Amino acid sequence: MSESTAPTGWWANPPERALDCAQDYLERLGYRVLARQFRDCDLIAGRWPLVIACEVRARRIVEPVDDDCSARRKRLRLSASIWLANPPHRGFHEVRFDRIDVYLSHGGELVGLEHYPNAF
């Protein structure tokens, strides 16, 4: 089923819904979300001394995973560096780049979530 022929609510706002799910997940793990959609970082979360720059992908169950995104990863690293260079954020000693794939149902409900720490 293509997005253009999908019923209402099927893919209403997947990026925002995926960010909400990923943020809830990280908060349950004890991280505090420090920024959302900062340049090319979807989420920046921290639990001292670690800060995580996350790429969040909204997925439908039928979509194949596309892992060849070296340019996007480069932009994510640059965005995280810019965020960390800001004086209030200099207290973190470790940086990790994660990917979170959020799988949504036809109605936009969370079906599954896969977290890849140190994804790149």
What DSSP designation does 116 have? E
Q: Which domain holds residue 105?
A: 3-116
120: closest CA among 7, 40, 6, 17? 40
Name which residue leads in pLDDT, 91 or 94: 94
Interval 91-97 mean pLDDT:
84
C-alpha to C-alpha distance for 113 and 105, rounded to whole angstroms: 12
CATH code for position 80: 3.40.1350.10
Pairing between β-strand 41-47 and β-strand 32-38 as defined by DSSP bridges:
antiparallel
User: Could you read off the pLDDT of 51-84 as tens digits, one per residue?
Assistant: 999 999 988 765 555 555 677 778 878 888 888 8
Residue 66, pLDDT score: 56
Residue 47 has pLDDT above 80, yes or no: yes
What's the total number of domains in the chain?
Answer: 1
Residues 6+ apart with CB under 8 A from 5: none
Measured on CA atoms in the order 33, 35, 44, 61, is the torsion positive or negative? Answer: positive
Residue 101, pLDDT score: 93
Residue 107, pLDDT score: 76
Pairing between β-strand 50-60 and β-strand 94-104 as defined by DSSP bridges:
parallel
C-alpha to C-alpha distance for 90 and 28, rounded to whole angstroms: 24
Name which residue leads in pLDDT, 114 or 85: 114
